[in-house]
Amino acid sequence: MPRAMRAVRLHELGGPDKLVVEEVEQPTPGPGEILVRVRFAAFNRRDVFITQGLYPGIVFPASLGSDGSGTVSALGPGVNGPPVGSEVLMNSMLDWGDDPRVWQKPGNILGMPAPGTFAEYIVVPAANVHPLPRGLTLEQAAALPLGGLTAYRAVFTRGECTAADVVLIPGVGGGVQTFVLQFVKAAGAKAIVTSSSDEKLARAKALGADVGINYKTDENWSRAVRAQSDGGPSLVVDAVGGDAFARALDVARPGARIVTYGGTIPQSNIRLFSVFWKQLDIRGSSMGTPAEFAAMLELVAKKGIVPAVDAVFPLDEVVTAAQRVLAGEQFGKVVLAINS
């Protein structure tokens, strides 16, 4: 008899309220796979976008959750480690492919189409299972994978960030952007962040931000950015899109690199003059390669970076947790306690 487990699933669109916790069959690891008992999982905006139908290729029932940590429960045939019972986290990027410049199967990650981490157990390819970076708790480690990977590629591979840079980070309260801030500071660059809330700006300063600007109360926030950056930022790392992206192009210094990895506001009315006259370099970025994931874990361990965990909700409060993300109330990552 297959064993049952509890998992969060989505059977229809309609926002976070449509998420339900139900009993499903516990998966079994096949050749090359590991069964992980999930201890903590974490939200990404993607999970909320899926409930709203704002993500391509949704299949029902959808089993959500791309981030998670836990303990190894069983090894599939041909897998020699890590040992059963050891603490691990999962890289949600399943099949990047051979070309480090671009993924071959966009969006092929844990949590739709593959079963996600908002479940008591998950089966993951052995190559995607990693020991925790030194010093992190399981709760903190669950917050790291997708955001840390996306931020690492955006800041270092695509952004080529160095200590000489002045970096603009719009909407710093976002789960990925808090990692962007921490990695930019690890590179030794100057970080100018914007946020909707003074409280979040104070938390960003505690994480190392040099300048914080409230984009809600300061209508001329881009002017304030220019004043703080000696002629404009040399690097922008954005996922907000919309007007924030357009104004970032206007304020960037000539020759700046502009990295975009998301469009929370999907359309942006940009002034092309800013792009060609200042010879800006706009670069898209998404998730990252297995090598970037390993390098990200190494950086986190070496620099003692601790993910910004906003709040921890029990599995049964998954709807409340998702609503917090939808409302943009969080600073950093919203975590679910699954088997704690």
Q: In the numeric block, which tokens belong to residue 151?
A: 């931020």
| Residues in 93-132 that interact with ligand NAP by CB under 6 A | none
Q: What phi-psi label fits residue 205: left (phi over 0), alpha (psi between -120 and 50 degrees) or beta?
A: alpha
| Beta carbon of residue 68, minimum distance to ligand NAP (angstroms, whole number) | 15
Selected from 119, 237, 296, 325, the binder of ligand NAP by CB under 6 A is: 325
Rounded-to-integer distance, Cα 305 and Cα 134, Å: 10
Question: How many amino acids of this chain bind ligand NAP (CB under 6 A)?
Answer: 30
| Beta carbon of residue 140, minimum distance to ligand NAP (angstroms, whole number) | 16
| Beta carbon of residue 228, minimum distance to ligand NAP (angstroms, whole number) | 17
| Beta carbon of residue 131, minimum distance to ligand NAP (angstroms, whole number) | 23
Rounded-to-integer distance, Cα 275 and Cα 250, Å: 8
Q: At what angle do helices 145-152 and 290-303 cross, to 10 degrees?
A: 100
Residue at shortest CB range from ligand NAP: 262
| Residues in 276-305 that interact with ligand NAP by CB under 6 A | 286-287
Backbone angles phi, psi at 292, to 5 degrees: -70, -35
| Beta carbon of residue 146, minimum distance to ligand NAP (angstroms, whole number) | 6
Cβ atoms 217, 143 nearer than 8 A:
no
Cβ atoms 73, 121 nearer than 8 A:
yes
Rg value, the chain, Cα: 20
| Residues in 209-238 that interact with ligand NAP by CB under 6 A | 215
Burial class, 59, CB count within 10 angstroms (exposed 0-12 / middle 13-18 / buried 19+): exposed
DSSP class of 26: P
Displacement of CA 4 from its chain's centroid (Å): 30
| Stretch binding ligand NAP (CB under 6 A), from 2-10, 84-92, 184-192, 258-266 | 258-266
Residue in 140, 29, 23 with CA at minimum distance from that of residue 78: 29
**Would you count residue 264 as binding ligand NAP (CB under 6 A)?**
yes
| Beta carbon of residue 279, minimum distance to ligand NAP (angstroms, whole number) | 25
**Would you count residue 244 as binding ligand NAP (CB under 6 A)?**
yes
Q: Tell me whether residue 122 or residue 146 sits nearer to ligand NAP (CB atom).
A: 146
- Cβ-proximal residues to 11 (8 Å cutoff; 6+ apart), any chain: 18, 20, 60, 61
Q: Tell me whether residue 66 or residue 73 sits nearer to ligand NAP (CB atom).
A: 66
Q: Tell me whether residue 169 or residue 299 sits nearer to ligand NAP (CB atom).
A: 169
| Residues in 3-32 that interact with ligand NAP by CB under 6 A | none
Using DSSP bridges, classify how beta strands 67-75 and 33-42 pair: parallel, antiparallel or unpaired.
antiparallel
Q: Tell me whether residue 115 or residue 174 sits nearer to ligand NAP (CB atom).
A: 174
| Residues in 128-187 that interact with ligand NAP by CB under 6 A | 146, 150, 170-177
* Amino acid identity, position 69: S
Rounded-to-integer distance, Cα 209 and Cα 171, Å: 13
Selected from 19, 24, 192, 239, the binder of ligand NAP by CB under 6 A is: 239
x/- track of binding to ligand NAP for residues 29-68 (CB under 6 A): ---------------xxx----------------------
**Would you count residue 321 as binding ligand NAP (CB under 6 A)?**
no
Q: Tell me whether residue 125 or residue 175 sits nearer to ligand NAP (CB atom).
A: 175
Rounded-to-integer distance, Cα 29 and Cα 38, Å: 14
C-alpha dihedral, 75 to 81 to 83 to 87, nearest 10°: -90
Contacts with ligand NAP, residue ranges (CB under 6 A): 44-46, 146, 150, 170-177, 194-196, 200, 215, 239-240, 242, 244, 261-264, 286-287, 325, 328
